[in-house]
């Protein structure tokens, strides 16, 4: 098993807030790994530190064996990481198509851009119908589809997804997770942050449980799903 992403002893602060207190996470090639945990546990912070938006004070992050700790966001992206941020963050005044083109910022071959757009339309036909609409006028579900499509435009080695199910109707959540599975089946490695622990564990191979900036549990997804404390805390059982 070949690790794509290796995080060791990661500490991140927001001012005086100690958000990550020594995190170790490994994601192997071709895996879906999920990070679950309650609000404020530090899930987004892990993703943000990987992609360089938040700064690590201690510890290391390696991508394909190469140290990427505290590189600037555009450098991390150029090395093969695509981050779909929490809340989608579509460029509201750019058209859908321009949003996709921005996702392909480091791609210079126009035929490659077209090819990846066609792939995105195949995943989400809805995107194609909205191509010339401004990003800000899309519905929440459409924005999530666009955010994922946009991230795929760079053909990343690893895709970081931050709560793709947030605020979506159950049917749409099903659809999004179906596509995530298909993206993974095409060979993309995925690190998935989710509140919806059940759905995340269903498609993931392994998972980490996060609590106030620390990893309290890590195991295969199947084992986590039957774990008593996980069931109580995150799968809504009493």
Partner 1 sequence: MATDTTSTSLESAAQGVSVTGWEAFKNSWFYKFTLFPLGQIFGFILGVSVILTVLALLLAVVFPEPRENINLTQQIARQLPDMIIGGVSIGFVYAMIALGYTLVYGVLKFINFAHSEFFMVGSVVGFEVMQRIGAAGEGVLEAWNPILLIVALVLSGMVISGTLAVIVERVAYRPLRGAPRLVPLISAIGVSFLLIDVVRGFAAITRNDFNLTYPVSQVSFFQQRPEITLTPENAPLLQFWFTAANRDEIDIGLRMTSLIIIVAAILMLLILNWFVNGTKQGRGIRAVSQDMATAGLMGINANLMISLTFFLGGAFGGAAGVLYGLNVGTVTPFVGFIPGLTAFTAAVLGGIGNMTGALLGGLALGLIETFLNGILVYFPAFGQRYTPVFTFSVLILVLLFRPSGLLGAKVDEKV
Beta carbon of residue 64, minimum distance to partner 1 (angstroms, whole number): 17
Task: Provide the angle, in degrees to the nearest 10, between the axes of the packed helices 96-103 and 140-152.
Answer: 30
Residue with tokens 């958000």: 19
CA dist., res. 129 & res. 4, Å (int):
35
211 binds, among partner 1, ligand ATP, Mg ion, none (CB under 5 to 8 A by kind): none
Q: Interface residues with partner 1 (CB under 8 A)?
A: 51-53, 72-74, 77-78, 82-83, 85, 89, 91-94, 97-98, 101-103, 105-108, 110-111, 113-114, 117, 128-129, 131-132, 150, 154
Helices (H), 165-219: 170-185, 197-203
The rounded radius of gyration (Å) of the Cα atoms in the chain is 17
231 binds, among partner 1, ligand ATP, Mg ion, none (CB under 5 to 8 A by kind): none
51 scored as a contact of ligand ATP (CB under 6 A):
no
In the chain, which ranges are continuous DSSP H helix? 43-50, 73-78, 96-103, 110-123, 125-129, 140-152, 170-185, 197-203, 221-226, 228-234
What are phi and psi for residue 27, nearest 5 degrees?
-125, 125
- 128 interface partner picked from ligand ATP, partner 1, Mg ion, none, CB below 5 to 8 A per type: partner 1
Q: How many CB atoms lie within 10 A of CB 65?
A: 9
Q: Which of 64, 86, 155, 157 binds Mg ion (CB under 5 A)?
A: 86
Of the pair 69, 165, the CB lying nearest ligand ATP is at: 165
Cβ atoms of 26 and 60 within 8 Å: the answer is no
Indicate the residue among 55 and 72 with the shorter CB distance to ligand ATP.
55
Q: Does 34 bind Mg ion (CB under 5 A)?
A: no
Q: According to CB under 6 A, which one of 4, 5, 7, 19 is a site residue for ligand ATP?
A: 19
Residue 20 or 82 having the CB closest to partner 1: 82
- Number of residues that make up the chain: 238
For position 105 contacting ligand ATP by CB under 6 A, the verdict is no
Site for ligand ATP, rule CB under 6 A: 14, 17, 19, 37, 39-45, 86, 195
């Amino acid at each position: 098993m070949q690790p794509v992403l290796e995080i060791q002893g990661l500490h991140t602060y927001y001012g005086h807030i100690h958000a990550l207190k020594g995190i170790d996470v490994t994601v192997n090639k071709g895996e879906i790994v999920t990070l679950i945990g309650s609000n404020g546990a530090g899930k987004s912070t892990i993703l943000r530190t990987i992609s360089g938006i938040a700064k690590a004070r201690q510890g290391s992050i390696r991508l394909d064996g190469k140290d990427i700790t505290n590189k600037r966001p555009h450098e991390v992206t150029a090395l093969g990481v695509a981050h779909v941020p929490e809340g989608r963050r579509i460029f509201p005044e750019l058209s859908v198509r321009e949003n996709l083109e921005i996702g392909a910022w480091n791609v210079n071959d126009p035929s490659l851009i077209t090819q990846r757009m066609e792939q995105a339309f195949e995943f989400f036909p809805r995107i194609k119908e909205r191509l010339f609409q401004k990003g800000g006028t899309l519905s929440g579900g459409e924005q999530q589809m666009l955010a994922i499509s946009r991230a795929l435009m760079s053909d990343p080695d690893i895709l970081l997804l931050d709560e793709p199910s947030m605020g979506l109707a159950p049917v749409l959540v099903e659809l999004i997770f179906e596509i995530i599975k298909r993206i993974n089946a095409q060979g993309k490695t995925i690190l998935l942050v989710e509140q919806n622990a059940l759905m995340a564990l269903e498609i993931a191979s392994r998972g980490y449980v996060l609590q106030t900036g620390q990893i309290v549990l890590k195991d295969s997804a199947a084992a986590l799903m039957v774990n008593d404390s996980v069931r109580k805390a995150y799968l809504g059982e009493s």
